[in-house]
């Protein structure tokens, strides 16, 4: 398996690893990750089962798309494919440091969010959030998109697992639109899964984001997720607001946006995420 990946890296970069060494990397939630290196080069590799190739393809396309915006640093994708019954993706290795510039992370994310499209909300690829499919069919109306392709998709999966969060789909169609009165979000290129486990700082302190669940959506989804598991330091939000100030109604939509991720966590991991989701619906109902 390693030989084929090494050859693929050589084809993509012209760099041939001599006596490559494989070192596991922890911290991921879905894939096996390792550092593939020799004396002079290092690469980041993730592997999964062969049918997961589509997930890595979408990740590579997403990383390239973000990379090409020149707004925020991401690991550059190098190659991806199948070998020995495994799918893999290889990206540039990032040497993560301990600290960095949170304000710059906010500013860079805001610059990413300034990237828009005339195609509406969605993306050209279907991708995944964790291991769950994420549907990105282009939709002109954001509220329709978020209800249909984000909340209801997860709610249906949750129902199959025995969790009831709303009495009917109709209830959701009544509950959500009032939160958007006077607010008309434009499509922004969003990371889509922006928690502290999917960002870091390189040795120079420059912010890096990775493992995206990319699409064009309301930028508030990324801000909401940064607050879901503890929140980022205040410099991050100050930096963000300097470049692209948030709408005053953001706070009232935050729980709705994070409900998507909590439902996804329930669908992936079960446990108390179910009652957390039910509590969030109660909060949204007011």
Site residues for ligand ADP per CB under 6 A: 25, 27-31, 33, 44, 46, 75, 91-94, 197-198, 210-211
Least distance from ligand ADP to the Cβ atom of residue 37, Å = 11
Closest residue to ligand ADP: CB criterion: 28
**Given the complex with ligand ADP, which of 135 and 268 has the nearer CB atom?**
268
DSSP assignment letter at 148: I
Least distance from ligand ADP to the Cβ atom of residue 177, Å = 33
Distance in angstroms (rounded) separating the CA atoms of residues 247 and 241: 10
Which residues make Cβ contacts (< 8 Å) with residue 54, sequence separation at least 6?
A: 126
Least distance from ligand ADP to the Cβ atom of residue 154, Å = 18
Distance in angstroms (rounded) separating the CA atoms of residues 16 and 8: 9
**Catalytic annotation, pick one of 38, 84, 124, 193:** 193
Least distance from ligand ADP to the Cβ atom of residue 96, Å = 6
- DSSP strand E in the chain: where? 21-25, 32-37, 42-49, 77-83, 86-92, 127-129, 132-134, 188-190, 199-201, 207-209, 215-217
- Closest C-alpha among 225, 226, 62 to residue 150: 225
**Given the complex with ligand ADP, which of 75 and 122 has the nearer CB atom?**
75
Q: What is the three-class DSSP state of 231? A: coil
Residue 193 annotated in active site:
yes
**Given the complex with ligand ADP, which of 32 and 242 has the nearer CB atom?**
32
DSSP assignment letter at 159: H
**Given the complex with ligand ADP, which of 60 and 281 has the nearer CB atom?**
60
Q: What is the three-class DSSP state of 211? A: coil
**Given the complex with ligand ADP, which of 91 and 258 has the nearer CB atom?**
91
Distance in angstroms (rounded) separating the CA atoms of residues 77 and 43: 10
Least distance from ligand ADP to the Cβ atom of residue 213, Å = 10
- Pairing mode of beta strands 199-201, 21-25: unpaired
Active-site residue list: 193
């Amino acid at each position: 398996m390693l030989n084929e990946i090494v050859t693929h890296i050589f084809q993509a970069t012209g760099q041939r690893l001599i006596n490559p060494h494989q070192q596991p990397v922890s911290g991921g939630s879905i894939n096996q990750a390792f550092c593939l290196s020799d004396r002079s080069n290092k690469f980041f590799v993730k592997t999964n089962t062969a049918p997961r190739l589509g997930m890595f393809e979408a990740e590579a396309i997403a990383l390239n798309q973000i990379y090409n915006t020149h707004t925020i640093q991401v690991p550059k994708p190098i190659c991806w494919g199948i070998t020995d019954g495994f799918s893999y993706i290889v990206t540039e290795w990032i040497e993560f440091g301990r600290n960095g510039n949170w304000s710059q992370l906010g500013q860079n994310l805001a610059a990413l969010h300034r990237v828009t499209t005339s195609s509406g909300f969605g993306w050209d690829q279907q991708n995944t959030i964790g291991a769950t499919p994420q549907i990105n069919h282009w939709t002109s109306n954001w509220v329709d998109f978020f209800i249909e392709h984000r909340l209801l998709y997860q709610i249906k999966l949750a129902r199959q697992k025995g969790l009831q969060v709303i009495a009917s789909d109709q209830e959701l169609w009544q509950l959500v639109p009032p939160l958007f009165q006077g607010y008309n979000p434009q499509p922004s290129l969003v990371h889509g899964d922006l928690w502290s486990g999917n960002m870091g700082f390189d040795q120079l302190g420059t912010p890096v984001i990775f493992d995206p669940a990319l699409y064009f959506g309301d930028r508030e989804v990324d801000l909401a997720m940064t607050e879901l598991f503890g929140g980022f330091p205040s410099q991050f939000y100050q930096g963000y607001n300097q470049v692209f100030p948030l709408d005053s109604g953001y706070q009232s939509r935050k729980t709705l946006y994070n409900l998507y991720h909590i439902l996804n966590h329930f669908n992936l991991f079960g446990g108390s995420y179910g009652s957390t989701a039910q509590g969030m619906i109660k909060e949204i109902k007011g």
